[in-house]
């Protein structure tokens, strides 16, 4: 007679383990199916370009802080020289008063009014001396001059202290702006390093081909300079083609965007302000159709500047990792042109 045994029940612990393994396998499969694909060269380039635009904005603020630091340093130096000269003048005036006291002593004792001045607070001296009716006209003039010089010197010292505080604050701000630029550049480099060597070579080749096409178009273009000075500035800028971009640099061998404009126009005897934002205010604003060779081209919300080269091209220093070159304005965000007066 056949035996009818009940089938052996699976161990509960074994079931739990198998269930967990199955769930994990499903989860891994799902994650693999939904994992973000590796970024393409196009994706990385778009992100890097956006970071470089942010670098432009940070660099413009850095340039502004650096320019302010330079001006404040000059102001502080001038004020310190002024204070030193004022102190020398005050010492000479006191020496003259001392000579008067010496002469009076030799002839029978120091005039009480002079003695009072030498031993009391000069700011209250004249009031006290006038009540004594012991100040001669000559002595009163000398004492008033000393009192006035002391007050002037105190004011100059106060102004110098204020400028030195401004300088310290600006240097702190400069350090912060520099960190912002370096942080953005580090992010861009991190993205570029996520590409393979082959992908980076592809990106560089595409950039070079685009730059070559732009250079060829500029060579064929025949534009009219905005002025004689603009012609000289443009010719100067052309001599810097191929020079390396370095943020915060104004030449003669490395440049940032506004530094290149500043240096180029300086060769024509024109002094431009340091930042692209400020350079956008030096003359009337122009539409793209009004641009002539040598006009400034303000881009990317005022954070970038180049020079109009004609035939739809801008000569500029783009960003870190590039050189001074021509580039189609259609590849950038045009704001307005500026004719340098």
Distance CA 290, CA 313 (A): 14
Active site residue 34: no
Distance CA 44, CA 332 (A): 18
List 4, 34, 285, 316, catalytic entry: 316
List 4, 34, 285, 304, catalytic entry: 304
What is the value of pTM for the model shown?
0.61
List 4, 34, 257, 285, catalytic entry: 257
Residue 187 burial by Cβ neighbours in a 10 Å radius (0-12, 13-18, 19+) = middle
Q: Which of 22-36, 80-94, 164-178, 312-326 has the lowest mean pLDDT?
A: 22-36
% the chain with pLDDT above 70: 72
pLDDT per residue as tens digits for the range 261-291: 999 999 999 999 999 999 999 999 999 999 9
Active site residue 304: yes
Task: For the chain, give the mean pLDDT.
Answer: 79
Distance CA 247, CA 179 (A): 12
Over 50: is that where the pLDDT of 253 sits? Answer: yes
**Which DSSP string corresponds to 246-274?**
-TT-B-SSEE-HHHHHHHHHHTTT----S
pLDDT per residue as tens digits for the range 124-164: 555 555 544 444 666 677 778 888 888 888 888 888 888 88
What does CATH list as the number for 203-338? 3.90.1720.10
**Which DSSP string corresponds to 111-158?**
-HHHHHHHHS-HHHHHHHHHHHT---HHHHHHHHHHHHHHHHHHHHHH
Active site residue 316: yes
Q: Quick one: pLDDT at residue 15?
A: 45
Domain boundaries, the chain: 41-191, 203-338
């Amino acid at each position: 007679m056949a035996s009818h045994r009940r089938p052996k029940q699976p161990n509960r612990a074994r079931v739990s383990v198998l269930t967990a393994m199955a769930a994990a396998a499903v989860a891994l499969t799902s994650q693999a199916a939904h994992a973000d694909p590796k970024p393409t060269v196009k994706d990385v380039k778009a992100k890097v370009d956006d970071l470089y635009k942010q670098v432009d904005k940070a660099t413009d603020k850095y340039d502004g802080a650096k320019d302010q630091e330079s001006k404040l340093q000059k102001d502080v130096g001038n004020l310190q020289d002024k204070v030193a000269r004022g102190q020398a003048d005050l010492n000479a005036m006191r020496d003259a008063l001392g000579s008067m006291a010496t002469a009076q002593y030799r002839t029978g004792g120091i005039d009480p009014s002079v003695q009072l001045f030498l031993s009391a607070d000069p700011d209250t001296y004249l009031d006290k001396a006038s009540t004594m009716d012991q100040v001669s006209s000559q002595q009163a003039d000398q004492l008033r001059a000393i009192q006035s010089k002391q007050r002037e010197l105190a004011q100059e010292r106060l102004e110098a202290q204020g400028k030195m505080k401004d300088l310290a604050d600006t240097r702190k701000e400069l350090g912060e702006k520099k960190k912002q630029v370096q942080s953005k550049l580090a992010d861009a480099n991190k993205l570029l390093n996520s590409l393979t060597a082959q992908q980076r070579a592809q990106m560089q080749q595409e950039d070079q081909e685009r730059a070559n096409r732009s250079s060829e178009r500029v060579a064929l273009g025949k534009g009219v300079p905005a002025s004689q000075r603009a012609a000289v500035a443009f010719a100067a800028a052309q001599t810097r083609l191929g020079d390396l971009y370095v943020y915060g640099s104004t030449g003669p061998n490395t440049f940032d965007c506004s530094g290149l404009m500043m240096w180029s126009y300086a060769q024509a005897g024109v002094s431009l302000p340091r930042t692209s934002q400020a350079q956008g205010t030096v003359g009337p604003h122009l539409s793209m159709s009004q641009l002539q060779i040598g006009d400034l081209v303000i881009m990317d919300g005022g954070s970038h500047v180049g020079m109009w080269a004609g035939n739809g091209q801008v000569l500029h220093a783009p960003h870190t990792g590039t050189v001074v070159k021509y580039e189609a304005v259609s590849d950038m965000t045009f704001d307005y042109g500026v004719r340098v007066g």
